[in-house]
Structure 1
Amino acid sequence: MVAEHVQSAPIVVASNRGPVSYRLGADGSLLAGRGGGGLVSGLSAIGHESGAVWVCAALGEGDREASRRAEESGRRLDPADTGGHAVRMLDIPAETFAAAYNGIANSVLWFVHHLLYQTPLEPAFDSAFRTQWAAYEAYNTAFADAIAEEAAEGACVLVQDYHLTLVPGLLRARRPDLRIGHFSHTPWAPPDYYRLLPDDVAEQVLRGILGGDRAGFLTRRWADAFAACCESVLGAEVLREGPGAPAVRFEGRTTRLGVHGLGADAEFLRERAHQPDVEQRMAALRQQIGPDRKVIVRVDRTELSKNIVRGLRAYRRLLEDHPEWHGRVVHVAFAYPSRQDLAVYRAYTAEVERVAGEINEAFGKPGWQPVALHVKDDFARSLAAYRLADVALVNPIRDGMNLVAKEVPVVSDHGCALVLSREAGAAAELGEDALLVNPYDIEATSRALDEALRLDRTDREARTKRLAAAATALPPARWFTDQLTALQRGQERTG
């Protein structure tokens, strides 16, 4: 039951990561840090007066201690720590969280939707997988229980991403009065690949999402893939009416599918990109790059799907095929370590560093280092690189959207050509003015880099303006409120 002094919420947002994180001070005090990203901006758009509450998981010991203290004093975190948001942070047992988050969400569901498995060797779903799957079920159940406690009668609930695919169905069983939506920030696998999952698990994930009234996706392509999986795996009926995304009818219920292509926050980016710390990073980068050189920029975490190694190999091919670029171009590559608690990600990060080093050893000469690789996360430096870029390379194997592709044109100082993977969700919106590439084709990517470097300034600037307009068409605040409005009205925003 909800404590008497805690008001039930008419709007609930649920996500693995929340808008605040804590660390323990040496004296036992809790030090709060503000969260970031589009979801935080989106929730801010509805205002504190809406009575919304955010349910998230404790990610570390500081978070767990904050959660325990909050449970003793009314269950929600101190609004002074959360930017005024009402936040309930769940202290899920660390072993359960690790198995659900690393074992299933990031090592199974992420791999399936990004088509990352080396199928001669993996996956192999054994007893260890079943133990981890039980943890994933427990983790999703903890969220469903908490949301059921927090939500007011008839409330709207917006569940986020592949970490919480079972929540809509679990919540429907507990609170049939609620309006429930789920949003997938990743791609969705086509049926043949999706069916790598054990049959019961494949069915359980789909049934979980279909427990909601709406299922949202970043592009029509991912929505159609989800519908096809429902049809193939469950035998569900796919309702295709008009130009919008389809709906799925299964066991007497209809779940509407919606498309909401998250855009860049232009106002924030442009203001932040001209702060003093960014200007300082620009000066340092200019010194590292050297005078009068073209700049190819990439900014990624070292996630396997980002395809950084093939991007570096394409750049090497450019230097091999076009010696006229020697000394005249620098590839500024930001590869920020990600998920380093997983061995496969540590190995990938090491491979990125190895290939970058090989390029510098093969082609570098006094006064010119062809690759400037940075592995320490620095948002101000990323923005500085955005402003300096002549070419942005965004070549993921597969990506739900990819905000870097949208952010670079927004803050570019003098126009930037975009070399973009056709497998990024952003290609659906930016493809007309980007140079699209097959992310597996190193030769074609090399040719696209050469073409991008040779674009005349007028063409490049015109493309950049059109790219920026498309990139900001649905900023985070509107992205969020559009979904909420559609859920409240029981209608679908098509896209």
Structure 2
Amino acid sequence: MVATRHAAPILVASNRGPVSYTLTENGELTSRRGGGGLVSGLSAIGPDAGAVWVCAALSDGDRAAVSRGVAEDGSRMIAVDPPVFEAAYNGIANSVLWFVHHMLYQTPLEPVFDEDFRTQWDAYRAYNAAFADALAEEAAEGAAVLVQDYHLSLVPAMLRARRPDLRVGHFSHTPWAPPDYFRLLPDDIAEELLAGILGADRAAFLTRRWADAFAAACVAVLGATLSPDGLEVTWRGRTTRLGVHGLGADGDFLRERAGRPDVAAQMEGLRAETGADRKLIVRVDRTELSKNIVRGLLAYRQLLAEHPEWRERVVHVAFAYPSRQDLEIYRDYTAEVSRVATEINAEFGTLSWTPVLLKVDDDFPRSLAAYRLADVALVNPIRDGMNLVAKEVPVVSDNGVALVLSREAGAFAELADDAITVNPYDIRATAAALLEGLTLAPEERADRTKRLAEAATALPPSKWFLDQLEALRG
């Protein structure tokens, strides 16, 4: 057994950590603390719990902090060699596993699992091993370890081999591919991934649909057996319990943040750009391939073409923040979003009306301003583990919002009854859903928004985290 360093009773492992470092021009380090569900959740256990967050050094500043021995209390950064990190993170996690789980491949041409892929897989394995080593060093006897997401799918089995005394959980923030699609992966890789997660005592997912897909893959690929309730997978004499925890919006934080003066100023600015009396169809996304921004724009174009009475009366506010621009396919997709928006403006725009207001620079106060002003929120991903935007907009909406929601979003499981649901590939149906949202009666809009907000905040980040911790320890 590896000797412990800090004897932490609770550990979290994720690619991105709670703190990032930046090198100034004179070589000094500055730190910035991030947000998100994990940060909120871990803070819920209190500062005296002795928890440690193990994460990767992602930037030059992070790596400098590691080399200088700089660390925030309760965190440990791992400085993986940049080429290994690049191959593991972009080569495998973002270009293979993300594509598999979101079913994004154009299969006549991709994927191609050649020798370059095998080299990248070795890097992914090494990256996971570095996390397993660090967790084994930091953990107290019998500690609870919560491993996060597809970047670290191999860690549970690796960690169990190093520290069989630990209670290990894995949480998938993405969807899980159905067995037939998952088996695009080479057989040995598919087996290694599943075996990696089955090294955990508990594997958790955002919806029952994703948990069932994982279980089905275990049966199809490994020959594992399932319990009658479908929530226990047994393979090679070990049983892994499956759990479902649908991460909700942090209502208290969102309402407080949305009420600040900078958000009010952004609301004034948006109204000046769109026109005070126009209806707003709002989307806020990263230009992630799975978010389906282009089809959303095409549906809006069809709405304007088929219903000219809505011209000059509505603006599509599309905040599409660039994502993963170090990958060519993402750069191309971002350019396509811009191209289609420009075409719509050229086709329908007038001197006094710009049909699409596209913003590509990330601005959280402006996003909250759009949330508050939205008459219709468009959330139409091809496939999404959850999608918190669908949950956040109703929470802060000023006058009620109609939510047009893809049935392929994880949030559909909780919000379907009060959303206008769509097949994300169907342009005609999405255009019709936008029209329905624009014409929804005020009373029904208000009632739906209230119920959406209640469902959206049912499992806030702190409770989401603590529920997982309690289930793992139990």
Q: TM-score, normalised by structure 2?
A: 0.99
1:191 and 1:313 map into 2 onto residues whose CA distance is: 31
Provide the rounded CA distance (Å) in 1 between the counterparts of 2:262 and 2:130: 41
Q: Return the match for 2:369 from 364, 384, 391.
A: 384
Match of 1:239 in 2: 227
* 2:277 alignment partner AA: D
Structure 1, unpaired ranges of 5+: 71-75, 80-85, 490-495
Q: Is the 8 A contact 2:379 2:403 kept in 1?
A: yes
Deviation >3 Å, runs of 4+: 1-4
Residue 457 (structure 2) pairs with residue 484 (structure 1): no
Q: Which residue does 2:341 correspond to in 1?
A: 356
C-alpha separation in 2, matches of 1:356 and 1:52: 46
Aligned-partner residue type, residue 132 of structure 1: Q
Give yes or no for the alignment of 1:422 onto 2:402.
no
Which residue does the alignment assign to 2:430? 445
Pairwise CA distance, 1:203: 0.2
2:454 aligned to 469, 472, 477, which one?
A: 469
Instruction: Give the Cα separation in 1 of the matches to 2:430 and 2:356.
Output: 17
Matched, 1:210 2:198: yes
Question: Which residue of structure 2 lines up, in the alignment, with residue 109 of structure 1?
Answer: 97
1:96 matches 2:84: yes
Distance (Å, rounded) in 1 between the aligned partners of 2:296 and 2:257:
28
CA contact (8 A) 2:171 2:204 kept: yes
Q: Distance in 1 between matches of 2:419 and 2:3?
A: 53
Work out which of the residue numbers 175, 184, 206 in structure 2 matches 1:196.
184
1:172 aligned partner, one-letter code: R
Q: Does 1:266 align with 2:274?
A: no
Pairing of 1:279-358 with structure 2 (within 5 A): 279-358=264-343
For 2:236, give the aligned amino acid: E
- In 2, the alpha carbon distance for the partners of 1:291 and 1:235 equals 60
SS of structure 2 residue aligned to 1:354: helix
- For structure 2, the residue ranges without an aligned partner over 5 or more in a row are none
Report if the CA contact (8 A) 2:408-2:424 is conserved: yes
Between the aligned partners of 1:275 and 1:106, the Cα distance in structure 2 is: 35
In the aligned structure 2, how far is the partner of 1:472 from the partner of 1:427? 14
Q: Which residue is equivalent to 1:18? A: 17
Letter paired with 1:332: V
Q: Give the one of 177, 183, 192 matched to 2:165.
A: 177
Distance in 2 (alpha carbons) for counterparts of 1:64 and 1:277: 34
Q: Which residue of 1 aligns with 2:63?
A: 64
Tell me, in whole angstroms, the C-alpha distance in 1 between the residues paired with 2:267 and 2:157: 49
Match of residue 29 from structure 1? 28
Question: In 2, distance between residues paired with 1:192 and 1:273?
Answer: 43
Cα pair 2:2 2:162 within 8 Å, conserved: no
| CA deviation map 1:136-164 (0-9, x unaligned) | 00000000000000000000000000000
Instruction: In structure 1, give the amino acid aligned to 2:266.
Output: R
State the percentage of identical aligned residues: 72
Q: CA deviation at 1:240?
A: 2.5
For residues 275-311 of structure 1, what are the alpha-carbon distances to aligned partners after superposition, in whole Å with 9 as ceiling and x for unaligned?
A: 1111111010000010211000000000000000000
Within 2, Cα distance between the matches of 1:374 and 1:238?
47
Q: Which residue of 2 aligns with 1:134?
A: 122
CA distance in 1, matches of 2:27, 2:239: 50
Amino acid at match of 1:77: A
Q: What does residue 240 of structure 2 align with?
A: 255
Provide the rounded CA distance (Å) in 2 between the counterparts of 1:279 and 1:328. 23
Q: Is the 8 A contact 1:330 1:370 kept in 2?
A: yes
The question of whether the paired residues in 1 share the 8 Å contact of 2:18 and 2:33 is answered with yes
Q: Which amino acid aligns with 1:14?
A: A
Structure 1 residue 126: deviation in Å? 0.4
Three-state SS of the structure 2 residue aligned to 1:432 is helix
Q: 1:78 aligns with which of 72, 83, 104?
A: 72
| RMSD of equivalent CA atoms | 1.1
CA distance in 1, matches of 2:176, 2:193: 12
Conservation of the 8 A alpha-carbon contact between 1:41 and 1:477:
yes
Q: Secondary structure at the match of 2:418?
A: coil
C-alpha distance in structure 2 between counterparts of 1:34 and 1:113, whole Å: 29
Partners of 1:7 and 1:196 lie apart in 2 by: 41
Does the CA contact (< 8 Å) of 1:21 and 1:62 recur in 2?
A: yes
- Deviation of 1:408 (Å): 0.1
Helix, strand or coil at the partner of 1:431 = helix
1:43 maps to 42
- The C-alpha deviation readout for 1:379-400, integer Å capped at 9, x for no partner, is 0100000000000000000000
Q: How many angstroms apart in 2 are the aligned matches of 1:31 and 1:252?
A: 49
Provide the C-alpha distance between the structure 2 equivalents of 1:69 and 1:28, rounded to a whole number of angstroms.
Answer: 12
* Deviation of 1:3 (Å): 9.0
Structure 2 CA distance for aligned equivalents of residues 327 and 94 of structure 1: 51
* 1:193-225 Cα shifts (integer Å, max 9, x gaps): 000000000000000000000000000000000
What is the CA deviation profile of residues 362-415 of structure 1, one whole-angstrom value per residue up to 9, with x for unaligned ones? Answer: 000011000000000000100000000000000000000000000000000000
Residues of 1 paired with 2:381 and 2:6: CA distance?
44
When residues 379 and 182 of structure 1 are mapped into structure 2, their CA distance, relative to the original with a 3 A threshold, is: same
Q: TM-score, normalised by structure 1?
A: 0.95
Q: Is the 1:2–1:8 Cα contact (8 Å) retained in structure 2?
A: no
In 2: Cα distance, 1:59 partner to 1:140 partner = 15
Aligned residues: 474
Alpha-carbon shift at residue 7 of structure 1 (Å): 2.8
CA distance in 2, matches of 1:13, 1:291: 46
Q: What secondary structure does 1:46 align onto?
A: coil
Shift of 1:2: 8.5
Counterpart secondary structure, 2:144: strand
- 2:203 is paired with a residue whose SS is strand
| 8 Å Cα contact 1:112/1:194 also seen in 2 | yes
Inter-partner Cα distance in structure 1 for 2:318 and 2:3: 50
- Give the AA of the match of 2:71: L
Counterpart AA for 1:459? E
Following superposition, the deviation at residue 78 of structure 1 comes to 3.0
